[in-house]
A and B are shown apart, each in its own frame.
Chain A
Amino acid sequence: MTTDWVFNLYVFVLATFVGYQVISRVPPLLHTPLMSGTNAISGISLVASLLAAGTNHRLSQILGFVAVTCATINVVGGFLITDRMLRMFHKKPSPLAAKSAPARAGADS
């Protein structure tokens, strides 16, 4: 039992390290989708909420029910809205084909 937390600490430290490495490669362009995406992933607390809601303890059921609702909003809403955002990012052919420059007017200031 005492070694459980040491093992979990290993997992925590290594996951933080991997997370930091992976996330530092996300460009500023995608920082908002990153936030809503990690938000959806951290909706994994749904797993713990399910366990709380599925017991026979009355109060735990009710608290678990609220927790399941909140976590589900994050999971479902988080993934949907991240996808909605990512769908908007397009790269279009450069409009620089037209190079005919109009004559420059003098500085207007």
Chain B
Amino acid sequence: MTPAAVLLSLCYLLSAVLFILCLRGLSGPESARRGLVLGELGMLIAVVGTLLHKDIVRYDWILAGLVIGSTIGVAISAWIPMTKMPERIALSHSFGGLASALVGVAEYLREVEHLTPFKMGALGFETFLGFLTFTGSVMAFGKLSGLVRGAPVTWKGQNVINIGLFLGALVAIGCLVFNREASHVFFGVAGTGLALGVMAVLPIGGADMPVVISLLNSYAGLAACATGFALNSQILIICGALDGSSGLLLSILMSKAMNRSFTNVLFGAFGQTPDAAAAVAGAAETRPFNEATVEDAASVLKASQSVIVIPGYGMAVSQAQHAVRDLAAALEKRGANVRYAIHPVAGRMPGHMNVLLAEANVSYDRLFDLDAINDDFGHTDAVLVVGANDVVNPAAKNDSSSPIYGMPVFNVEQSRSVLVLKRSMKAGFSGVENELFYQSNTMMVLGDAKKTLLALVAEVRDG
């Protein structure tokens, strides 16, 4: 190793340490921003160090990429609204996947004569995983943004085809190890990755997006790892491993929060029995429920000393987080104790609700996890459900035939009264009917959540 190469390796080591410290900072909101600065420093060291690498002989393309990328990066992060964060995350996974895949293709084209069998295998995996992450994330982005229909798309033999494609890619990578010159096989692997990404995300519905986004996060990390193995670059392996383990951990947490296994999410259960769900929904529409006016709801809230707000994806859709904060402030002014109960899978990605409420300036010590608050519903005067559905469905606890049976949910029905803000009486994303809406102590306030909340704020302030 030349002295320059040793120095570069030491730079990478320092970067790796800084990245780990950056993630450690995220263990609390106070230390997180300081940690992030360390991460930025690590990245700067790694990039500047690499630019001095002896293998880099020209800078024109590099400079163009850096300038264009920075411009787009700054623009996206400055203008994207917080409600669009799941879309942003999905898009960035697709960029990460694409970068890994293209590096893999470039490396293959340049080095094909000198590839060792191991490096060939690593390049194959890198390209396959990279392209899979790319199209999978683009599909997830399409579903989240409504460009692609969000409902699960399923057909017969889907899982067999997907597993077949996956095994086919593995076999093809195996062939490449023994015959690296077979470029048509290499591009076949790339194409399979592209196809499988689309096919794998098609059958997954909107409510399962938190798991899918986490899984794609993990794939993007694995693709970066494979790049590291192919290029013998430890910093890539370390960062890929950090990203991969973070994605994996989040996917496990999300699956647990829905009481579903990985395979269950990937190979689809929701949407498999649309007829049954539709039948239940159809029958239920005529059932009586308490429809309340804003005035009724406001009088209940005004009489409540302890209120728990349960936000869901509906809050993000109607961008109601600021109105929620205003209502909470008005109630607190009257002496009520207002807290927020956040379910791990509320929204479309891990932590979605927390970010939205933080944006609305809600103090983070008012936000409580499922376990932290679930025993308090029994002595709560009013629960305000804002656009959440499955996470407050008692069927998850007492109806073993329900598709969401076993999912940990809030004990909302134990509180003295429940106010549900909902667009209409239609069943939620999973198509599962919710008993809570027909209980005697539940008041349904139908309409756009934001408008209802603003009207409630006015009522509470006046009274």
A residues near B (Cβ < 8 Å) are 1, 4-5, 8, 11-12, 15-16, 18-20, 22-57, 59-92, 94-96, 98-105, 107-109
- Residue of B at shortest CB range from A54? B56
- What would be 6 A-B contacts, judged by CB atoms less than 8 Å apart? A18-B20, A39-B89, A71-B96, A73-B73, A79-B39, A81-B76
Query: A90 contacts which of B98, B300, B364 (Cβ < 8 Å)?
Result: B364
Given A42-B240, A89-B32, A52–B107 Cβ distance below 8 Å?
yes
Closest 6 CB pairs of A and B: A72-B69, A68-B65, A31-B351, A76-B73, A77-B73, A54-B56
By secondary structure, the A interface counts as helix
Given A35-B89, A109-B442, A28–B369 Cβ distance below 8 Å?
yes
Give the CA-CA distance A61 to B74 in the complex, in Å: 24
Judging by beta carbons under 8 Å apart, are B242 and A72 in contact? no
Chain B residues near A35 (CB-CB < 8 A): 89, 213-214, 217, 246, 250, 349-351
Chain A residues near B351 (CB-CB < 8 A): 28-35
Residues 213 to 259 of chain B near chain A (Cβ within 8 Å): 213-214, 217, 220-221, 223-225, 227-229, 231-250, 253
Q: How far does the Cβ of B212 sit from chain A's closest Cβ, in whole Å?
A: 12
Judging by beta carbons under 8 Å apart, are A88 and B359 in contact? yes
Chain A residues near B93 (CB-CB < 8 A): 39
Give the CA-CA distance A25 to B76 in the complex, in Å: 29
Query: A72 contacts which of B24, B66, B109, B290 (Cβ < 8 Å)?
Result: B66
Give the CA-CA distance A11 to B16 in the complex, in Å: 11
Judging by beta carbons under 8 Å apart, are B92 and A73 in contact? yes
Query: A42 contacts which of B50, B243, B303 (Cβ < 8 Å)?
Result: B243
Give the CA-CA distance A95 to B155 in the complex, in Å: 54
Judging by beta carbons under 8 Å apart, are B234 and A8 in contact? yes
Query: A41 contacts which of B43, B106, B334, B417 (Cβ < 8 Å)?
Result: B43
By secondary structure, the B interface counts as helix
Q: How far does the Cβ of A28 sit from chain B's closest Cβ, in whole Å?
A: 6
**B260 at interface by CB-CB < 8 Å:** no
Judging by beta carbons under 8 Å apart, are A69 and B39 in contact? no
Residues 44 to 84 of chain B near chain A (Cβ within 8 Å): 46-47, 50-51, 53, 55-59, 61-62, 64-66, 68-70, 72-74, 76-78, 80, 82
**B177 at interface by CB-CB < 8 Å:** no
- Residue of B at shortest CB range from A104? B303
Judging by beta carbons under 8 Å apart, are A88 and B99 in contact? no
Give the CA-CA distance A79 to B37 in the complex, in Å: 9
Give the CA-CA distance A51 to B235 in the complex, in Å: 14
Q: How far does the Cβ of A25 sit from chain B's closest Cβ, in whole Å?
A: 4
Judging by beta carbons under 8 Å apart, are B364 and A29 in contact? yes
Query: A53 contacts which of B43, B61, B213, B417 (Cβ < 8 Å)?
Result: B61
Judging by beta carbons under 8 Å apart, are B28 and A5 in contact? no
Chain B residues near A28 (CB-CB < 8 A): 253, 342, 344, 350-351, 354, 369
Q: How far does the Cβ of B318 sit from chain A's closest Cβ, in whole Å?
A: 19
Give the CA-CA distance A2 to B365 in the complex, in Å: 53
Q: How far does the Cβ of B109 sit from chain A's closest Cβ, in whole Å?
A: 5
Q: How far does the Cβ of B57 sit from chain A's closest Cβ, in whole Å?
A: 6
**B167 at interface by CB-CB < 8 Å:** no
Judging by beta carbons under 8 Å apart, are B238 and A15 in contact? yes
**B375 at interface by CB-CB < 8 Å:** no
Chain A residues near B220 (CB-CB < 8 A): 39, 42
Give the CA-CA distance A91 to B30 in the complex, in Å: 9
Since A19-B246, A34-B250, A51-B53 are in contact, a sample of 6 more A-B pairs with Cβ atoms closer than 8 Å, ordered by chain A residue number, is: A4-B118, A34-B351, A39-B96, A41-B242, A59-B106, A78-B92
Give the CA-CA distance A80 to B69 in the complex, in Å: 13
Judging by beta carbons under 8 Å apart, are A77 and B39 in contact? no
Chain B residues near A95 (CB-CB < 8 A): 329, 332-333
- Residue of B at shortest CB range from A72? B69
Give the CA-CA distance A61 to B52 in the complex, in Å: 17
Contact with A along B86-128 (1 / 0, CB 8 A): 0011001101101110110111011000001010000000000
Query: B39 contacts which of A12, A24, A31, A41 (Cβ < 8 Å)?
Result: A41
* A19, A37, A109: residue with the most chain B Cβ atoms closer than 10 Å: A19
Give the CA-CA distance A6 to B367 in the complex, in Å: 45
**B181 at interface by CB-CB < 8 Å:** no
Judging by beta carbons under 8 Å apart, are B349 and A32 in contact? yes
